[in-house]
């Protein structure tokens, strides 16, 4: 019987107060990939979606790019970002009392010879029954091993109380 990959919990943050960003630091380099699972509460600032962003290792330079596709009940949008200061890994509903889920995979995050690829997916059903799905592939143009991830929204709006973000390491068994 062949051995498979296993997920190992690294850290979880549940927000007890609203926060503009959520940071995971001192990420060990002992895994092959990272998987981040997020239960995202809406920030209630409008009736739209807000982008879910990430920065790695404190890099605020224009070293990120992304290709994305999003679809709601009425509209599909695709796009590309080049030389951005943050990567994209999902959308967050802004409609009060909505809950969404996002999953981001940081592939080969500890490899020091390749750029880092991040695959993000998210979805939510708005209280006005408008579903929203999002997928993106981002690239961080750095060969450094990832040891810190900071999540924020495109608009700068806070993550509300009760938002839960968990990070897992994929261990090659």
Q: Which CA distances in Å does 167 have to 58, 62, 93?
A: 18, 25, 21
Q: Which CA distances in Å does 34 have to 31, 123, 130, 135?
A: 7, 20, 31, 17
Q: Kindly give the confidence (pLDDT) of every residue in the chain, 173 residues in length, as a single tens digit, with 9 standing for 90 and above.
A: 445 668 999 999 999 999 999 999 999 999 999 999 998 876 666 656 778 999 999 999 999 999 999 887 677 889 999 999 999 998 876 666 677 889 999 999 999 999 999 999 998 766 666 667 889 999 999 999 999 999 999 888 888 888 999 999 998 75
Domains with residue ranges and CATH for the chain: 5-172 (2.60.120)
pLDDT given at position 1: 43
pLDDT given at position 28: 96
pLDDT given at position 17: 95
Which residues 6+ apart lie within 8 Å of 71 measured at CB?
77, 132, 133, 134
Q: Are the C-beta atoms of 104 and 118 separated by less than 8 Å?
A: yes
pLDDT given at position 20: 94
pLDDT given at position 35: 97
Separation CA 154–CA 55 (nearest Å)? 12
pLDDT given at position 150: 98
pLDDT given at position 82: 96
């Amino acid at each position: 019987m062949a051995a498979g990959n296993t997920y190992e919990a690294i850290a979880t943050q549940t927000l007890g107060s609203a926060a503009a960003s959520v940071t995971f630091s001192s990420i060990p380099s002992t895994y092959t990939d990272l998987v981040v699972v997020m239960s995202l509460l809406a920030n209630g600032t409008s009736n739209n979606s807000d982008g879910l962003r990430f920065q790695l290792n404190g890099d605020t330079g224009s070293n990120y790019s992304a290709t994305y596709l999003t679809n709601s009940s009425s509209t599909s949008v695709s796009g590309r970002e080049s030389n951005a200061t943050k990567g994209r890994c999902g959308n967050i509903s802004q409609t009060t009392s909505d809950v969404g889920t996002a999953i981001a995979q940081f592939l080969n995050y500890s490899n020091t010879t390749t750029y880092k690829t991040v695959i993000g997916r998210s979805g939510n059903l708005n209280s006005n029954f408008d579903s929203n799905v999002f997928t993106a592939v981002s690239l961080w143009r750095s060969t450094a091993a990832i040891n810190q991830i900071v999540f924020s929204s495109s608009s700068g709006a806070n993550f509300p109380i009760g938002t839960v973000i968990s990070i897992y390491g994929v261990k090659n068994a």
